[in-house]
Amino acid sequence: MAARHIDTSGLDADYVSLAAHKLYGPKGIGALFVRGRTRLTALQTGGGQERGLRAGTLNVPAIVGFGAAAALITTDAVTPNGEIRALRDRPADRLCDAIPGAIVNGHPRRRLPGNLSITLPAVEAADLLDHMPTLAASTGSACNTGSAAALAQAR
């Protein structure tokens, strides 16, 4: 497979942010694309890193990890999106067929291939997860709850 690059010329965006952990890299590191003449203002003062826009010492291990993850997603080692979509859609289709009123949340086609959000009325999430032991799922998002309770419910 040929390397995939982010083509920013077709984007109507002055900034594009990337988080390494969204592509299996380490947490706490990211990248920011800034369109040519777009101006930035420093939020912290100190050091002259990144043309005076950022202070502090670089997290070299995280940067290297981000680079390795980015390189990995440009190889055949990563499952193509079509296969990931099929893995996402199979349980969604089965649940929608089996549970009256089940609704897949989000746009029907323009969704992330590896993410499924589904509303199952009158179904206890913990009971559902108990009946699907091979499915990696959770009943909520730990980043939105402000607590570890959602993580405790993840199966």
Active site residues: 143
Tokens of 102: 């089940």
Pairing mode of beta strands 103-104, 15-19: unpaired
Q: Is 150 helix (H, G, I), strand (E, B) or coil?
A: helix
**In whole angstroms, what is the distance from residue 109 CA to residue 47 CA?**
45
Phi–psi pair at 16, nearest 5 degrees: -135, 120
Q: Is 113 helix (H, G, I), strand (E, B) or coil?
A: coil
